[in-house]
A and B are shown apart, each in its own frame.
Chain A
Amino acid sequence: MVYARTVGKKTITLRVSGLLWNRSLIMNDMETGSEWSQLLGKAMKGKLEGAKLRPIPAQLTTWDDWKKQHPDTTVLNLPRTSNSYGVEFYRDRSQFVLGLVIGETAKAWPFDALGRERAVQDTLAGVPLLVTFDRRSTRALVFSRVLGKETLHFQWDPDTGELKDRKSKTTWDPTSGRAVKGPRKGAQLEILPGIVSHRRAWRAFHPLSAIMR
């Protein structure tokens, strides 16, 4: 996941602490040495204990898919540390989830269920959501279905296979959450900071999380 590194007025620099909590990464900031949970985005110990990092919505997808979405992207250039993280990594889709936390409530949508449905409407902590999944790239995203004062309801067009909102029949791109054709063309759904996680890790950090069947 991606976080903003500025907390209040302070910008911090994070390193791998060498500590694990529930088998999950703990980070240190160089400025105070506080310990941060990567999965929770929160300082667990030290001077900044209780502080939270603002999550920035990010995608886990294939290079091919990302390059198509953003042809002018830049790419990190460091020597490889492994060769195994391709789309086959998610071969057993039931073991991976897209998770979201709103306030104190958590929910996760497993990749196998998302793969079946391609798009799921849901609600979490009163926020209406749209979860989309691309089978080829395993890209899983979650958007808010609130647009201005309205909540949109989506359906697949039986003739064209496009994703449309019921009321205006506008066609929406499930990758970007943008309206591409019809009365609402150009409108943008707000993307929320969903996290791709091993199912077990998600359960360890959010034991009361609902999980879609």
Chain B
Amino acid sequence: MLSDGTARTPPPHRQEGTMRTFLTAITVLLLALVAHAEDREYKPRRVVKPYPAITDPDFLPASKVLAEVTSAELVLGVTLDGKARAYPINMLTGPQREIINDTLADTAIAATW
């Protein structure tokens, strides 16, 4: 059988602290909800000016890629309607390269890192 991916939790204590446990659980839940709300508040920070959008970049067929990309390098790979395309991560760092506007199998896509 395959491993079951459920998170394992330790068995609950069942001593005189039942009420305490209950109150602790409620407090933790409330804090988690507050943290959730705070983390989800949209407060971006500007670090740099915007970069121009990258559109219609150049591509090569696999057969023409020799030394440019080595075997253990990471790529972001996508297939759509039988067409496959790879975006080597070492071309997507920057931050100026983090978004590539592209079209694959007639579908407008954005490859992002």
Contacts and interface: CB of A to CB of B under 8 A. Distances in A.
Given A20-B45, A119-B2, A212-B7, A207 B36 contact: yes
A67 B108 CA distance: 23
Given A2-B111, A4-B109, A89-B74, A16 B86 contact: no
A204 B35 CA distance: 10
B17 interface: no
B39 A205 contact: yes
Interface residues of A, number: 80
A171 interface: no
B77 A66 contact: yes
Contact of A73 (B49, B62, B94, B97): B62
Interface residues of B, number: 71
Given A14-B110, A21-B44, A2 B36 contact: no
A87 interface: yes
Contacts of B62: 67, 70-75
B99 A14 contact: yes
A44 interface: yes
Given A18-B49, A28-B50, A119-B2, A63 B8 contact: no
B56 to A, nearest CB: 10
B24 interface: no
Interface string B64-102: 010011111111111110011111111111111111110
B11 interface: no
Nearest to B49: A18
A213 B64 CA distance: 43
A120 B3 CA distance: 5
A74 B84 contact: yes
B31 to A, nearest CB: 10
Contact of B97 (A5, A28, A78, A89): A78
Contacts of B100: 76
B27 to A, nearest CB: 16
Interface of A: 1-6, 11, 13-22, 25-28, 30, 35, 38, 44-45, 53, 56-64, 66-67, 69-89, 107, 109, 116-117, 119-122, 131, 138, 154-156, 204-205, 207-208, 210-213
